[in-house]
Amino acid sequence: MPGPLSGLRIVEMVGLGPAPFAAMMLADAGAEVIRIHQKGARADIPLMNTRFDVLARGRRSLALDLKAEADLGVMRDLIARADGLIEGFRPGVMERLGLGPEPCLSAHPRLVYGRMTGWGQEGPLKDAAGHDLNYLGMTGALAAMGPADAPPPVPLNLVADFGGGGMLMAFGMVAALLAAKTTGQGQVVDAAMTDGAALLSAMFWGFRAGGMWSDARGANLLDGGAYFYGTYACADGKFLAVAPVEGRFHRILIERLGLDAADFTHAADPAAWGKLRARLAALFLSEPRDHWAALFAGTDACVTPILDWDEAAAHPHAQARGAFVEIDGVTQPAPAPRFSATPSAVAHGPAAPGADGPAILTDWGLNPARLG
C-alpha cells in the first residue's frame, strides 16, 4: 500500500547529510522525491552515489547542468509540477542560479521551499562554514555533555545534523505542505541545525530555569551524574546501559544485585552518587556483559546491554519488528515511524546520478528529448 505521503512530489537538490536525510524520510513515507544531481560533479564524501549511500535510497535521479539555459528551463518546469523543493546549499547559491524562493514562489504560490543550513538564512554566522560539532557547540547542549574532568565528547553527528537538521526539516516540510493544502499558500521552511539542536534541548532549559539543573557537567540526573543513569564496563570489555530513574525500577536493580537498599538511596542524596557509582562500577566489572543482561532480562530494572552494530541488527527485538532491512546487500535501518494503514517502505536503493532522467521527465509530463 502507498505510504502516508503518497501523491506528493518533491524536488531534492543533491547535497550532504541532513537535507538528504530529510528527503529520505519523505520518500520512505511515500512521497515521490526526485534527486537533482549536478552534471559532472564529483562526490564530496566517500561512498556517495554508490549502493552504500543509504541516505539516497528510494529516489530517482536526474542530472542537470544548471548553468546551461536549457537544463535550467527543465528545472523550472519540474519545480512548477512539484509540491515542494529541498536544498541544503549555503545562503545565496540558489539565488545565483535564479532558483531562489522569490521567483519560485512568485511563479508557483503553493510551493513549499525547504532550506537546510547550519546557521540559518540570516544572522551574523549565516555565511560561515561549519559542521555538526560547531552547530551543537553553539547551543549550550554540547557543554552539558560528558564527564566533568574532560572536554565535552565528540558525539556522532546525530544531534545537530540529523536530529536538529534533517528531522526538523522533514517535519517542517510536512507542516508547510499541510498548510499549503489548506490555504493554497506555500512558504519557505528555514531549517537551521543550530535552531533544531537547541529545540531538542528544550526540557533542559526548563530544568535550568526551575533550579533543577546544574551547569556543572556530570552533576545531574541525566548527564551521567546519577549512578542509576549511566553506562558501565563489564569484565569482557563490553558495556551496560543502566537507567532505573524511577524509584520502583531502582528497587529492582538493587534487589537483583543483592545490595543493601539502605546504602543505595536513589535520588535522596546526590552527594553520595559518586561513591555509589564506584561501587556499581566495581561490581559490573566482575562479570561479562551478557551475564548481567541475563540477570535483568524480563525485569523492569532498565538494565540493557550496549550492542554493537551487528548485534543491534541481529537482536530478537529488532528482528521481530523488522527494524533493519537489507537493500542491495546493505543492512540499514527500516523506515520509521510505523503507520498502521499506510505503511512506509523503501522503494529501491540509491540511484546512480542521472540514471532516471528520461523516465522522470516522461512521468512528470515533460519531453525527455529536452535532456539532449
pLDDT score recorded for residue 43: 67
Give the separation between CA 294 and CA 254, rounded to whole angstroms. Answer: 15
Beta bridge partners of 190: 115
Catalytic residue of the set 65, 77, 131, 363:
131
User: Burial level of 307, CB count in 10 A (0-12/13-18/19+)?
Assistant: middle
Helix (H) / strand (E) containing 110? none
Alpha-carbon 103 to chain mean position = 30
Q: What is the pLDDT of residue 42?
A: 73
Judge whether 161 counts as a catalytic residue. yes
Residue 198 Ramachandran class (φ > 0 left, ψ -120 to 50 alpha, else beta): alpha
Please report, for the chain, the start and end positions of each structural domain, with discontinuous segments joined by +: 9-201+324-371, 230-316
* pTM of the complete model beyond 0.85: yes
Q: Which residue reads 512506509 in cell numbers?
A: 344
What angle (nearest 5°) sits at the alpha carbon of residue 271, between those of residues 288 and 241? 25
Residue pair 21/29 in contact by the 8 Å Cβ criterion: no
44: annotated active-site residue: no
**Which grid cell sits at 213?**
539543573
My answer on whether omega of the bond before 343 falls inside 30° of 0, hence cis, is no
Asked, colleague to colleague, whether 9-201+324-371 and 230-316 share their fold, the answer is no
Q: How far apart are CA 28 and CA 348, in angstroms?
A: 10
DSSP state at residue 164: I
Q: What is the pLDDT of residue 1?
A: 66
From 71, 83, 132, 161, the catalytic residue: 161
d(CA 264, CA 260): 7
Q: Is 161 exposed, middle or buried (0-12, 13-18, 19+ CB in 10 A)?
A: buried
Question: Cα torsion at 216, 217, 223, 228 (round to 10°)?
Answer: -80
Dist. CA 360–CA 61, nearest whole Å: 8
CA distance 80 to 74: 10
Residue 184 has a pLDDT of 97
Dist. CA 155–CA 163, nearest whole Å: 13
Grid coordinates belonging to 231: 553506562
CB 226 within 8 A of CB 272: no
- Considering the four listed CATH numbers 1.10.10.10, 3.40.50.1220, 2.60.120.10, 3.40.50.10540, the one that applies to the domain covering 9-201+324-371 is 3.40.50.10540
Task: Report d(CA 11, CA 361) in Å as an integer.
Answer: 12
Residues in contact with 322: Cβ distance below 8 Å, sequence separation at least 6, in sequence order? 334
Q: Write the Ramachandran bin of 217: left for phi over 0, alpha for psi from -120 to 50, otherwise beta.
A: beta
The low-confidence residues of the chain, meaning pLDDT below 50, are none
Fold of the domain built from segment(s) 230-316: formyl-coa transferase, domain 3 (3.30.1540)
Q: Specify the pLDDT at position 40.
A: 82
Instruction: Answer positive or negative: Cα dihedral of 327, 40, 127, 80.
Output: negative
Supply the pLDDT for residue 112.
98
- Let me know the angle formed at the C-alpha of 34 by 32 and 40, rounded to the nearest 5 degrees: 170
CB count in 10 Å sphere of residue 211 = 7
Say whether 140 sits in a helix, a strand or coil.
coil
- Percentage helix, strand, coil, to 5, in the chain? 40, 15, 45
Strand order in the sheet with 32-38: 60-64, 32-38, 9-13, 84-87, 112-117, 187-192
